[in-house]
């Protein structure tokens, strides 16, 4: 399981003070926040995720019929 690199968190904590507002404006703030969290792999979700993938949109389509 991949682990968050301590140096990544150090860098993130240092630069977020300057860039957090900008990150929010361009819509990547939450993604960057998630990159600092350790998480456990969920095999069931990984198995189900491909069923929600749209090749034409190149994106996941959750909650759509």
Secondary structure of the chain as H, E, C letters:
CCCCCHHHHHHHHHHHHHHHHHHHHHCCHHHHHHCCCCCCCCHHHHHHHHHHEECCCCEECCCCC
Q: What is the pLDDT of residue 64?
A: 59
pLDDT the model gives residue 14: 94
pTM over 0.85: no
Question: What are the average pLDDT values for consecutive 10-residue runs of the chain, which has 65 residues?
Answer: 80 94 95 87 89 91 73
pLDDT at 32: 92
pLDDT at 41: 83
């Amino acid at each position: 399981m991949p682990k968050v690199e301590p140096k990544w968190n150090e860098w993130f904590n240092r630069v977020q003070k300057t860039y957090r507002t900008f990150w929010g404006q361009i819509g990547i703030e939450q993604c960057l926040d998630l990159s600092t969290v350790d998480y456990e792999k969920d095999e069931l979700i990984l198995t189900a995720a491909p069923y929600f993938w749209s090749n034409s949109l190149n994106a996941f389509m959750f909650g759509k019929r």
